Amino acid sequence: MFGLFKKTAAPTHEAAERTDVPLSPHMTLMMAEELPILDSASRVRVYEILKEYDGPLIETQEQLPQEIKDLMDL
């Protein structure tokens, strides 16, 4: 009645939806929050690894390539 009990879709972040990385929107946001903590050489290496990545969509931290996990201390 009056739309009070309608289920709404989960909020999305436009920037996370428009990226060209093999990450889910949730992982994209997590990486965007954590990357500034890394030094510039490590950030560049993470970008290179993601650019070269040829696999399924990464949806969890466990699915990240091992080198990224090592760089980010995950």
Per DSSP, the residues of the chain read -TTTTPPPPPP--HHHHT--SSB-HHHHHHHHHHGGGS-HHHHHHHHHHHHH--SSPB-SGGGS-HHHHHHTT-
State residue 74's pLDDT score: 82
Evaluate if residue 20 carries a pLDDT over 90.
Answer: no
Residue 13 lies in a domain: no
State residue 2's pLDDT score: 62
- What predicted TM-score, i.e. pTM, was given to this entire model? 0.75
Structural domain containing residue 29: 20-71
Residue 11 lies in a domain: no
Average pLDDT, the chain: 86
Q: How far apart are CA 7 and CA 16, in angstroms?
A: 23
State residue 48's pLDDT score: 96
Evaluate if residue 51 carries a pLDDT over 70.
Answer: yes
How many domains does the chain fold into?
Answer: 1
Residue 14 lies in a domain: no
